[in-house]
Copies of this chain bind each other. A is one copy, B any other.
Amino acid sequence: MNSKKDIQTANVSSSATTAASTTAISPSRQENYPEWYQEVIKAADLAEQSPARGCMVIKPWGYGIWENIQHVLNQRFKETGHQNAYFPLFIPKSFLEKEAEHVEGFAKECAVVTHHRLEKGEDGGLVPAGPLSEPYIVRPTSETIIGAMFAKWVRSHRDLPLLINQWANVVRWEMRTRLFLRTTEFLWQEGHTAHASEAEAREETLKMLDVYTDFCEQYLAIPIVRGEKSEGERFPGAVNTYSLEPMMQDRKALQAGTSHFLGQNFARASDIKYLDQDGSEKFAWTTSWGVSTRLIGALIMTHADDNGMVVPPRVAPTHIVIMPMTHKPGTEAKVMEYCHSLQKDLQACKYNIEGQTQAQSQLQVHLDTRDLRGGEKMWSWIKKGVPICIEIGPRDVDAGAVYFYRRDQQPGKKTSMPRMEFINNASAILEEMQHNFFENARKFLCANTHTFTNKDEFYTFFTPKNASQTEIHGGFALAHFCGDPTVEEKLKQDLNVTVRCIPFNDARSPIADLMRNLRNVDSCLNNCLFTGKASKGIALFAKAY
């Protein structure tokens, strides 16, 4: 292990400075990370469990974040030539049976529709009736049904490339669910494309991985390690699967998005053929790629702290909340007038996102006039993770000032600024916060990623010291790996650790330096950490969601 010291000193978050004082979320991340996660979602009013087993209700604040994610990604998809369409929720059973590996992967746990009617039963209750001749599966993913349509639409090389995206709900029957991370139903987008050449399909696969990476880093402020999945972790039916693997604050990895090169597997299964320029009929090359509401789980576990949710400004449904402090008798009218005028002026401001000209260009400003105590009101917004909270009392009105709190600083720390200065700088402050959130996460990722040339140290790294279920330990481990699936199986059994990906040799990666160092160690150490056999490259190992 190269930097043992770092591990002990690296804390779960940049705001650990508040640990001594009381925090809004109990338990804290250190005390019980999984419970902390649930409590943040509750305190921020992002989502909750529904009466339908394992299905969530996404509440307005959570859905507002999802709408912003959709908005930005939708623009990126259109800029890269994709069109949206909509395909059926139901997949006939026989379609799932077409691609052998795909069946294995997806037929296991899915919602099966077997009847199309309810009738009054003997006890007066409703009973299923009208059995279907062929059961339908509620889509767990849509390769098979979209493939069947592509087969109809593609005739000639002129019909290619076919670049389609769908925003939809999907269902995978999960035994153990956690809000946003693993739910029976979730919302996602799934891109499906068909190409005339392998090279073009491969280029598309990586292009969309780039789109996801840029989006996660620039909008969600989540630094991304990415690479190719090992054989055992591939999408069922894919030739290559690539994934985004950010680190959460408990140092586990979360697969945040995937892009698959499907080769001709699904084209063969669905009969997607085209007449080429040379007059011969050929199978198309296809890809698929997707991200889901899981990204909101990634947001929470990257940025939220012991005081609740933290929403990076670029995806925040509300950027600024104004709270009038009107308890002093006789001041209400002038405070309210000042607040309304401030709201109006701020709403007229552009939110200038660096390097972007169009996206989400107005400041979203909310005036909170609820009849609550000031402290309670302020904390409700801190817990929701609104970037900036403004309190306006009579003295601020008299001074022509804005008294505000930034979510990237400690609660209690507030700043007063002349009104015009704040209005002129609001957008820049938000961008500075966006930058800070990314930098904090990047430093955390780097501090908790280590290279290994000694197997015992690797095992020590992934073993909690107190054998506690909730102890935060481990991190990302980089080591040379021979690619043997039995090694992966053993690591899973011994440590619950998996190969997250074979990271790209990527200059922009947050772990580029660590990768380079490991490549440059003595060549005798360049063999597989576990078998001593020839390395197929450096792999990223971690516990994961």
CB of A52 within 8 Å of the partner chain: yes
Q: Are B138 and A138 in contact (CB under 8 A)?
A: yes
CB of A486 within 8 Å of the partner chain: no
CB of A485 within 8 Å of the partner chain: no
Those of A146-204 within 8 Å (CB) of chain B:
148-149, 158, 164, 168-169, 171, 173, 184-185, 187
CB of A55 within 8 Å of the partner chain: yes
Q: Are B111 and A112 in contact (CB under 8 A)?
A: no
CB of A113 within 8 Å of the partner chain: yes
Q: How far is the CB of A277 from chain B (nearest CB, A)?
A: 12
Cβ contacts under 8 Å, A92 to chain B? 51-52
Cβ contacts under 8 Å, A185 to chain B? 88-90
- 0/1 string, A50-61, CB within 8 A of B gives 1: 111001111110
Stretch at the interface among A79-87, A374-382, A420-428, A525-533: A79-87
Cβ contacts under 8 Å, A171 to chain B? 89
Q: Are B126 and A117 in contact (CB under 8 A)?
A: no
CA distance A265 to B173 in the complex (A): 33
Q: Are B112 and A117 in contact (CB under 8 A)?
A: yes
CB of A482 within 8 Å of the partner chain: no
CB of A471 within 8 Å of the partner chain: no
Q: Are A91 and B145 in contact (CB under 8 A)?
A: no
Cβ contacts under 8 Å, A158 to chain B? 370-371
| A112 in contact with B108 given A51-B95, A88-B56, A92-B52 (CB within 8 Å) | no
CB of A136 within 8 Å of the partner chain: yes
Report which of B55, B91, B107, B109 forms a contact with A90, defined as CB distance below 8 A: B55
CA distance A56 to B88 in the complex (A): 6
Cβ contacts under 8 Å, A84 to chain B? 60, 63-64, 67
Report which of B87, B116, B168, B187 forms a contact with A112, defined as CB distance below 8 A: B116
CB of A456 within 8 Å of the partner chain: no
CB of A511 within 8 Å of the partner chain: no
Given contacts A52-B89, A64-B84, 14 further A-B contacts (CB under 8 A): A55-B89, A58-B85, A58-B86, A60-B83, A63-B85, A86-B187, A90-B185, A93-B118, A96-B126, A108-B118, A112-B113, A112-B128, A116-B173, A118-B137
CA distance A116 to B52 in the complex (A): 13
Report which of B50, B90, B91 forms a contact with A111, defined as CB distance below 8 A: B90
Q: Are A85 and B59 in contact (CB under 8 A)?
A: yes
CA distance A371 to B57 in the complex (A): 49
CB of A27 within 8 Å of the partner chain: no
Cβ contacts under 8 Å, A85 to chain B? 57-60, 63
CA distance A136 to B168 in the complex (A): 19
| A124 nearest CB neighbor, chain B only | B97
Cβ contacts under 8 Å, A401 to chain B? none
CB of A236 within 8 Å of the partner chain: no
CB of A435 within 8 Å of the partner chain: no
Cβ contacts under 8 Å, A63 to chain B? 83-86
CB of A473 within 8 Å of the partner chain: no
CB of A125 within 8 Å of the partner chain: yes
**What are 30 A-B residue pairs whose CB atoms fall within 8 Å in the complex?**
A48-B149, A50-B87, A51-B88, A51-B148, A52-B89, A52-B92, A56-B88, A60-B84, A60-B85, A63-B85, A86-B187, A89-B138, A89-B185, A90-B111, A90-B185, A93-B118, A93-B125, A93-B126, A97-B126, A103-B126, A107-B126, A110-B116, A111-B136, A113-B138, A114-B114, A114-B115, A114-B128, A128-B135, A158-B370, A168-B169
CA distance A168 to B137 in the complex (A): 18
Those of A246-304 within 8 Å (CB) of chain B:
none
Report which of B50, B130, B149 forms a contact with A50, defined as CB distance below 8 A: B149
Q: Are A109 and B116 in contact (CB under 8 A)?
A: yes
Cβ contacts under 8 Å, A50 to chain B? 87-88, 145, 148-149
Cβ contacts under 8 Å, A187 to chain B? 86
| A317 nearest CB neighbor, chain B only | B83
| A183 nearest CB neighbor, chain B only | B88
Q: How far is the CB of A304 from chain B (nearest CB, A)?
A: 20
Q: Are B51 and A145 in contact (CB under 8 A)?
A: yes
Cβ contacts under 8 Å, A103 to chain B? 126
Those of A1-60 within 8 Å (CB) of chain B:
48, 50-52, 55-60
Q: How far is the CB of A212 from chain B (nearest CB, A)?
A: 21
CA distance A66 to B167 in the complex (A): 13
Q: How far is the CB of A281 from chain B (nearest CB, A)?
A: 20
Closest 3 CB pairs of A and B: A55-B88, A60-B83, A112-B115
